[in-house]
A and B are shown apart, each in its own frame.
Chain A
């Protein structure tokens, strides 16, 4: 069994959730939308980042968010809805504070992703696509996240969690549930899914300098080459690793 049970009845498809009309969008949000639009030669290019901004404010794509995007860009709400429903990162219903993704595309699935997803769902007591009652976690089955040399892979708030095992997943979820600071092995200290969405909208959170340069697997070839003395022709020999301006802020979390 693949885990994807086959569906053919789609009563809720076709748009966002119109029932819940609550909104936290303010004039300041709209002003930020205009700032995003100003980055591009043509404002409509800003729609994807603007929808990320809506998620950071609303925790989902809300009717008010759709209307605000349409107004700022001068397009119809239907056009915004068409875009919002096309991309998988846009949520119709509120996600958790921490959004957990488990890769189950072929390679990760085979190497344990399927089991990891089961484990995470069992542990949190929800199904994929759902959010825990306390709003802490939501779970999503994700497609290949470009970290196959670290398989099986999980993501939390779109930060990498590499070489996962059920035990490591348990540990991760427990720490997040307890509110302990958790660092991505190739990223920053976890904030929240909404804060991550704000960065994707183009408003940096000042955490770019956290985390390592690369993971172990990423530097494997480089290390092998160094061991063997291999290098590209005529290129200058490797310079010593720069060390200054290095560790003062290493991994420093806010």
Chain B
């Protein structure tokens, strides 16, 4: 039985200047790279496959399998692209990792690129995190200087260029094909699949796109072995992962634990919901995963259990809201997020979210009419599963789950403004002198 928390990726986050190469090396950093270069790329890939590592960016696709889809006989160059565009509301695990220990990612990039057989790797980091970009840029420079990147890495004959690329503000670029278009200098709009990136990705060449945490997990897997990794977690959800606890909890923060820990366990470790309040609803993996309620506190936070509860593990972004929070208000703000971030390519997402926002505003203001809940659900039905990519599915997920668990609050939206039912100042973490909403009402 493993411990409740298993810091691996986060083990050095409390170190002084953990982002420096020398400090990373002192902890055994780049040992895994040497190990990997002593093996064939196929052996490295096999170890990652065996470990059972699944994508940590939300979809949970087995990482090793994704790598193996890259055709060996394709004459084009192959590319590795790290998705560091962390933007899903509630998700905040990759940024601290890259800020504290960028070399964990860079080492992972080099090992993974070696396994896939590519000579160019990109770290696509969202642009709105200046210091993270600085640390990444510096780590890559250090890796070059130390001979971990560039020509003839550690005398192995293997060459790799690593480029840190800053995005410019678009949630949709977290979708892997949109990210590729963006990395090609285009509008970040999702591409048609097939062809999948593994066959025709960046520059129409075979490309692997992996989340930061997935790639950062690779050095530890190579270092300690596949069975070490798979000894953690549940039967189908292997390994440790980073859970991000946020919202109305006493001590929000990052918790690295084997897959399958429960929110109840994590809440205990963080001191529970803020004093005098209780949990009302939460997301298991960001706003795109259907919300859950206190009745789901004991569900293992793994891929299967979340799917069983009609939601998804997603990015393991556990946003907790207490009883002061208006579900209508929160849902509106999420849908506004999706409206703002919809790329515009497909009709249901572009027009549907535009429409939903207008209806939800009526609910928030207590001006909704009879039939409007059904209208919301019907519009959601026309959006969900009809749009080009999963962005709109995420929007619909938070809306329909909110109505499923808190329909009464939507019904109340037909006569009472949300800010009257749930005075907004009470949800804030600080004293609010004036009740802002009243002034606007």
Chain A residues in the interface with B (C-beta under 8 A): 1-2, 4, 6, 39-42, 44-49, 51-52, 73, 82-83, 86-90, 101, 104-107, 109-112, 114-115, 118, 142-152, 155, 157-160, 163, 165-167, 184, 186-188, 196, 199-202, 204-205, 207-209, 211, 213-225, 228-236, 238-239, 241-243, 245-247, 250
> Is residue B436 within 8 Å, beta carbon to beta carbon, of the partner chain?
yes
> Is residue B330 within 8 Å, beta carbon to beta carbon, of the partner chain?
yes
- Contacting pair A146 B16 (CB below 8 A): no
A146 to chain B minimum Cβ distance, whole angstroms, is 4
Given A143-B341, A148-B319, A232-B240, does the pair A87, B329 have CB atoms closer than 8 Å? no
What DSSP secondary structure best describes chain A's contact surface? loop
- Chain B residue numbers with a CB within 8 Å of A157 are 130
- Chain B residue numbers with a CB within 8 Å of A186 are 99, 131
**Interface residues in B68-94 (C-beta closer than 8 Å to A):** 77, 86-92, 94
- Contacting pair A115 B425 (CB below 8 A): yes
- Chain A residue numbers with a CB within 8 Å of B319 are 106-107, 148
CB-nearest residue of chain B to A153: B92
Q: 18 A-B contacts, Cβ less than 8 Å apart?
A: A2-B329, A2-B361, A39-B163, A86-B187, A105-B337, A109-B329, A110-B428, A111-B247, A146-B126, A155-B128, A166-B430, A217-B251, A218-B13, A220-B253, A233-B2, A243-B16, A245-B17, A250-B16
Q: When the two chains form the complex, which single residue of A146, A160, A228 contacts B131, counting CB atoms closer than 8 Å?
A: A160
Q: When the two chains form the complex, which single residue of A89, A90, A118, A232 contacts B7, counting CB atoms closer than 8 Å?
A: A232
Number of A-B pairs, beta carbon distance below 8 Å: 349
- Chain B residue numbers with a CB within 8 Å of A143 are 87, 89, 171, 337, 340-341
- Chain B residue numbers with a CB within 8 Å of A52 are 127, 166, 168
Measured as residues with beta carbon below 8 angstroms from the partner, the interface class of chain B is: 35 or more
CB-nearest residue of chain B to A39: B163
**Interface residues in B230-287 (C-beta closer than 8 Å to A):** 231-232, 240, 242-248, 251-257, 269-270, 287
CB-nearest residue of chain A to B136: A208
- Chain A residue numbers with a CB within 8 Å of B138 are 204, 208-209
- Chain B residue numbers with a CB within 8 Å of A142 are 128
- Chain A residue numbers with a CB within 8 Å of B90 are 107, 144, 148
- Chain A residue numbers with a CB within 8 Å of B365 are 1
- Contacting pair B166 A49 (CB below 8 A): yes
- Contacting pair B134 A86 (CB below 8 A): no
- Contacting pair A233 B6 (CB below 8 A): yes
Once bound together, how far apart are the Cα atoms of A42 and B253, in whole Å?
Answer: 40
